[in-house]
Structure 1
Amino acid sequence: MQFKDKCLDLSSPRVMGILNVTPDSFSDGGTFNMLENGLAQTGLMLSEGADIIDIGGESTRPGAQDVSIQQELDRVIPVIESICQRFDTIISIDTSKAQVMTEAINAGASLINDVRALQENGALEAAVAAKVPVCLMHMQGQPRVMQQNPHYEDVVKDVMAFLQQRIAICRKAGIAGEQIIVDPGFGFGKSLEHNYQMLANFEKFHRLNVPVLAGMSRKSMLGHLLQREIGQRLAGNVAVATVAAQKGAQIIRVHDVKETVDAVKIINMINACRNNNER
């Protein structure tokens, strides 16, 4: 997949490192919202093998409060500019706001990662004009209320139908099919069972014929099942990332880059040995 002047081979799983420059994200809120801390964390994740750095300036945890466009710009633009000056990497902007998308791309980001799948005012038009890949995520409801009794007839079929619709709308608007990634949206308007139904059937999302991103890192689907606090979910993080990689996830979005990269290397070796034996 082409990201501005960089091409990323998605024939094997790639790791996206999370950089939340917010004071209230569920996992690391307030940790990296100072510029130097964010740059240090970026350098660490890249040294550990991250292929993409995903920068978010507004928390989307359950119950999260909205922030203004200017607040979000003030948080993410200096970080994007500084990362571009210091590092050679692909930067993703995690936002749903059209103006933030446009200014982030102008500052050096080369992927739009939108939890609302380009449904907010002007977002689709901004993404078309930006001419960069987009990641379309499924979310039932809005962050403040999305975990209040989510309901589906069939969560996998319902999420796939939504993503298929959004893919069609984006393509009709002028976004090339080869520039689209999808994210089933683990933890976004899904119960514990819904999340694991999606993971158990993750390979079905490849029927959409676009790359699929898996983002489960440190989420409540791990905490509730394992009865672990956020800082104690590393084993669970690696377990679900490994399953996603086995099921063909092209991008795995995580906080714990080093451990996930190790897991991906093992999956790649297993796949290489399997392919050699089939020749």
Structure 2
Amino acid sequence: MITAPRRRIGRRDFDFDNRVAVMAIVNRTKDSFYDAGRTFELQPAVDAALAAAAAGADIVDIGGVPFSPDAREVSEAEEIELIGPFIEEVTRLSDVAVSVDTFRSGVARAAIAAGAAIINDTSGLHDPGIAPLAAETGATLILTHSRAEPRKHLRRPHYSDVVGEIVAFLVERVERATAAGVGMEQLVVDPGPDLNKNTLHTLEICRRFAEFTRLGPPTLAALSNKDFIGETLDRPKGERLAGTLATTTWCIERGARVVRAHDVARAVEAVRMTEALLGLREPAYLRHNLD
């Protein structure tokens, strides 16, 4: 599979051959995984998005429903009410690309109408309306590996070859999306670290990350503060930044071209340093031993 690395998403141009995009995370949920409701209210959420854009985020990903089945139920109408005004305000004040983290095509349609440019579907096309909607609107579509139905537990997940099975899943979902009319230039793939996987599975995903980047579409590394980092280092959620940045740079070196981040400023610095090491970016300035 080959797809054009240069693309327009929303009001920004992206060159995935030569740059890594940073996706900031903003959740309008009371029981979100990381921020525990700090951006549930509209103005704090908008402020967080604008601060992320100022810190260098290329994309802001807004979620109205946690992935975890243990979080409270959110109806489709409530999800639309949570994400719609946020998207309208952020796109009014900034040119940052906005992504909606949803598995519902009705929510995705409302988000695109409000100004979102990306559908981040962590269910892997569970809703059959998602791919036709992306085809109709031209929205970028992130295809994520997860095995359980949305917001359902998958206890003690088992894989014979976790990477091989994820690759096969993503190939099939890419084929399903393109059959619905989605262009290859609209797609991003995400192997779904920690989503219906245990820590050993996710470490193997990171270890063999290059196998996902060979599929063609840009690959998202959604690693920030996840449980596999906490379990590997024995660190609570608030102390996983070092592990997050180490794993993020590892995956970039193996081809990741979108990275998801809670701490945008530190992630941007890590990304830019890694780009420079890979020969993709010049230093901000040169003075050492030159004067």
| Moved >3 Å (runs of 4+) | 142-147
246, 259, 271: which one aligns with 1:264: 271
Matches within 5 A, 1:248-259: 248-259=255-266
Question: What is the deviation of 1:145?
Answer: 4.6
1:71 is matched with 78
User: Quick one: distance in 1 between partners of 2:82 and 2:280?
Assistant: 45
Question: In 1, are the aligned partners of 2:29 and 2:66 still within 8 Å (CA)?
Answer: yes
Letter in 1 for 2:133: A
Residue deviations 1:234-254, cap 9 Å, x none?
A: 111111111111111010011
Taking a change above 3 Å as real, the CA distance of residues 210 and 267 of structure 1, as seen in their structure-2 partners, is same
Higher mean alpha-carbon deviation, 244-253 vs 116-125, is at 116-125
Higher share in helix: 1
Matches within 5 A, 1:1-279: 1-11=7-17, 12-61=19-68, 63-142=70-149, 144-272=151-279
How many percent identity over aligned positions? 35
Residue deviations 1:27-66, cap 9 Å, x none?
A: 1131101111011111211111100000110000353344
Provide the TM-score with structure 2 as the length reference: 0.90
Letter in 1 for 2:21: R
User: Quick one: distance in 2 between partners of 1:38 and 1:71?
Assistant: 16
Aligned residues: 275
Question: What is the deviation of 1:140?
Answer: 2.0
Taking a change above 3 Å as real, the CA distance of residues 88 and 144 of structure 1, as seen in their structure-2 partners, is closer
Question: What is the deviation of 1:102?
Answer: 0.6
User: Quick one: distance in 2 between partners of 1:177 and 1:255?
Assistant: 28
Letter in 2 for 1:6: R
Provide the TM-score with structure 1 as the length reference: 0.94
SS at 1:53's partner residue? strand
Question: In 1, are the aligned partners of 2:272 and 2:281 still within 8 Å (CA)?
Answer: no
Letter in 2 for 1:47: A
Question: In 2, are the aligned partners of 1:27 and 1:230 still within 8 Å (CA)?
Answer: yes
Higher mean alpha-carbon deviation, 210-219 vs 4-13, is at 4-13
Taking a change above 3 Å as real, the CA distance of residues 5 and 45 of structure 1, as seen in their structure-2 partners, is closer
User: Quick one: distance in 1 between partners of 2:280 and 2:42?
Assistant: 43
Unaligned runs of 5+ in 2: 1-6, 283-291
Question: In 2, are the aligned partners of 1:218 and 1:234 still within 8 Å (CA)?
Answer: yes
User: Quick one: distance in 2 between partners of 1:142 and 1:229?
Assistant: 28
